[in-house]
Structure 1
Amino acid sequence: MKSLFLSTRFFLLLTALIVGLVVAFFVPALLAPLQVLLGLLVLLTLLDVALLYAAGGGVFGRRVLGDKLANGSDNDVALYLENLYRFPIGTQTIDEIPHQFQRRDVLFRAAIKPGETSIIRYQLRPTKRGEYEFGALNVYVASPLGLVRRRFRFDEKRVVPVYPSFLQMRQYELLAIHNRLTEVGVKRIRRVGQSLEFEQIRPYVAGDDPRTINWKATARRASTPQAADALVVNHYQDERAQQVYCLIDKGRVMRMPFEGLSLLDYAINATLVVSNIALIKHDKAGLITFSHQPGALLPADRRSGHLRKLLEILYRQKTKYLETDYERLYITVKTQVRQRSLLILFTNFETLSGLHRQLPYLRRMAKDHLLLVVFFENTELRAFLDAPATSTEDVYNQTVAEKFAQEKRQIVRELNRYGIHALLTAPQNLTVNTINKYLEFKARGLI
């Protein structure tokens, strides 16, 4: 039987009997009792096999996970095991997860009473987009005797795609709807000035800005019976239908990994979240990807299904090995983005000279649009700088590392000098910091 295996307990007992038989060669009086024990072991093993293959008995198992996994997030996986035997069983469950995870800790033990169901939960965190193939769910069942195990196999060969982190997107979406974004580090930004988009006239309440009182409407209401509370104010809302484009660099500078994810994947996850927040704020979200050649282009929109299109495009993006062509990016923006928009450019500049090569194209884009250049702080370099120096070599290395860190800060100052907004951020803080910038621009009326 291919699904039947002898247990560790059986081999331990058999080994003990074999050792006893060897001893019995020198002590003949032990031979008869050992032969009885050996026969008893054989009978119990046959009885155990009969129990495991009894009619109507067995185990039902299934693996429960979503139709797709979220890249860079902890995805929940649940294993359901139902005992169909009339006696309690012990199980060992091995889930054949995709090889990309490189995990060896997916063996789970459980004791299940008759007719009950056991639920085993664990999490998987993918770090690359693409298709992941799950193998079988193997359940090894033992009766109370525990001499043999019967294997059951379920859910064989299931392919699950790994998409940009829609779990992170949903988390921020729920917080934004309930005005609780401050819980994840998004700042509460005080509005500067007044939005120009009028929404409605409403009665004055304590705390309203007196400058928003509509005196003409108040005068018209003064002759009515409600004259005592006749003051009314103009109510304004954030300007809507503004365009927000995320520009993602797919060149070689975005291949650098941090905590398993490449900079490109950090940018893709942040793009999905920021675009969704923009749609919640009634703005239009668009996407442009680029490398040494033009990439994907999704015009800014907010119609139903637009976010799904964005997700599918982001799923297919891959980094390239060549240097990015910013001239092509400028041409794409010039020809395809006609309305003044917020351009959030995700890229990475390591040196000031690297910035100067692309600065002319950035300055041209900044003339027609509000440009935010987002690039990454080397967190491993920062950890090295914060460590105490214990030798002359450490001092020398930290001096060199500080030069690179200083150059990153100089890039920010250089961009600001030409009126280009810049954001230097650690990869793990990319999403929060980018949302903060977007909300700041909205509050200041810059878009």
Structure 2
Amino acid sequence: MKPTIRAVLLCAAGIPPVTALIVVDAAYWPVSVFFMLFVLLVGGVDALLCPSARALMVTARPPGQLNVGRDGVLSLTVAFRRTGMAVAVDCLLDVNDVLTRPPLRRVIVPVNTETEFDLALRADRRGMADVEAIWLRWRGPLGLFQRSHAVQGGRIPVIPDVNLVREMEIRFNARDAMHGVKVQRQKGEGREFNALKEWRPGMDTRSIDWKQSARHRALISKEYDVERNHPVVFAFDTGHLMGEAVHGLTKLDHAINASLVLGWTCLQGGDRVGAYGFNARMGAYATPTGGRSGFVRLQGFGAELDYSVDETNFTLGLGGLLGRLDRRSLVIVFSDFVDTVTADLMIDGLRRLAGRHLVLFVTFRNVELEGVAESMPRGAKGLAGSVIAADLVQERRIVTRSLEQMGILCLETVPGEVNAALVNQYMDIKRQGLI
């Protein structure tokens, strides 16, 4: 128990008038004694009426896990025994750097009644979130003295966000429930022949079967099914550039979330998914696997990817992946670069990888840098910053064009649009039979 700011102000407020009385006439010195006794009496009554920590009953229920970038709640149940008044309780969490510290929460606990409330939790990084302590503080009825008590919160694993995948699965299952479960054929430019159909303007002229067209005296085209069972490997650059926070999450976490969405789509389409991580060294590798186990494995792999402050060694990292793939695969590389100088080794590694596999390079646009380059500069300093930003944006475009000239597919988008853009790019690849 300790005094509050109100108690200190009460004592300080009485000192000037008491001092003034004694200065005017020393006979008024008993007033100071009475004032001290009054303060002690009021403070003692408030201290006695303030509920003790032994009367407090608190139960904490932390969530089983948190999704990175998503809000969660920690539920608390608070009650005071043997109290004849409602108590205002302030609650504050002591957390590690994985969690964002929530603001102070004040609740009113009625007389002899359990009060349940939630404290918001948000993790902007993957890892193990520690709620080291839950601090509760309450005051006496006069607000002169306060007590505090701490309870243990627990540890909460923070995993990649799978909510978008769950929403996709719900929509998929709901559609099947309404219309029946049946084999879904995806039409495209694969190698598995499906049927003949009349050619229409706008269709690819390469699909025309001239022999069948002569027999039917009309243009007839061949229709193919998209091939399945292709390996799709997600390669994650976990270097320091991917640790930069964009829209509340690191680029690496945005990449992992996007891979889960696309991974689920690939598995639904009959392909197999794998994963690989690298930075200054070669990281873990998960061989492409199909079915539900493939998604569980991909989710676990993403949860275990660690952040790194090292500069990425693309020669070693991409070379190690090239040595582990024994079949032509779709390799989706999530990475980032600054300029043409730092991208030289990355371009060389991607070029060697694209010699045997289909490579899709995914990076995130630097919207702030583009904004500086396009804004009207103010003053000499603003002009210099605008010129530098424009040069960096131009160099990023040069790198992208160089990769595209090597036959590497490039996708540069903002984090909020990467999921849809990546799925659309995958569908185009499947439809054109590029793997």
Report Cα offsets for 1:360-389 as digits up to 9, x if no partner: 553443344321011232222112113212
* In the alignment, structure 1 residue 175 sits paired with structure 2 residue 168: yes
Query: Share of identical aligned residues, percent?
Result: 24
Structure-1 residue corresponding to 2:315 = 326
Once the two structures are superposed, the pairs formed by residues 4-403 of structure 1 within 5 Å of their partners are: 4-25=1-22, 26=24, 38-53=36-51, 58-84=55-81, 85-99=83-97, 103=101, 106-114=103-111, 115-127=113-125, 129-155=126-152, 158-163=154-159, 165-166=160-161, 169-178=162-171, 193=188, 239-251=227-239, 253-258=241-246, 261-314=249-302, 315-319=304-308, 321-326=310-315, 329-330=318-319, 332-333=321-322, 335-352=323-340, 355=343, 357-359=345-347, 361-403=349-391
Report Cα offsets for 1:285-309 as digits up to 9, x if no partner: 2001233442211011135544444
**Structure-1 separation of matches of 2:9 and 2:316:** 72
Query: Cα–Cα, structure 1 residues 152 and 361, in superposed 2: closer, same or farther, change >3 Å?
Result: closer
Q: Is the 8 A contact 1:57 1:86 kept in 2?
A: no
Q: Is the 8 A contact 1:173 1:276 kept in 2?
A: no
Query: Cα–Cα, structure 1 residues 300 and 102, in superposed 2: closer, same or farther, change >3 Å?
Result: closer
Gaps of 5+ in 2: 174-185, 195-222
Query: Cα–Cα, structure 1 residues 176 and 248, in superposed 2: closer, same or farther, change >3 Å?
Result: same
TM-score scaled by length of structure 2? 0.75
Counterpart residue identity of residue 48, structure 1: D
What is the Cα deviation at residue 336 of structure 1?
Answer: 3.0
2:413 aligned residue (422, 425, 445): 425
Query: Cα–Cα, structure 1 residues 17 and 361, in superposed 2: closer, same or farther, change >3 Å?
Result: closer
Counterpart residue identity of residue 171, structure 2: H
2:396 aligned counterpart, secondary structure? helix
Query: Cα–Cα, structure 1 residues 7 and 192, in superposed 2: closer, same or farther, change >3 Å?
Result: same
1:372 aligned counterpart, secondary structure? strand
Q: Is the 8 A contact 1:90 1:144 kept in 2?
A: no
What is the Cα deviation at residue 94 of structure 1?
Answer: 2.5
Q: Is the 8 A contact 1:126 1:162 kept in 2?
A: no
Counterpart residue identity of residue 160, structure 1: I
Counterpart residue identity of residue 133, structure 2: A
**Structure-2 separation of matches of 1:50 and 1:351:** 68
Count the aligned residue pairs. 391
CA RMSD of aligned residues (A): 3.7
Counterpart residue identity of residue 86, structure 1: G
**Structure-1 separation of matches of 2:326 and 2:321:** 10
Q: Is the 8 A contact 1:279 1:285 kept in 2?
A: yes
Gaps of 5+ in 1: 181-190, 200-234
Q: Is the 8 A contact 2:364 2:415 kept in 1?
A: yes
Query: Cα–Cα, structure 1 residues 22 and 318, in superposed 2: closer, same or farther, change >3 Å?
Result: same
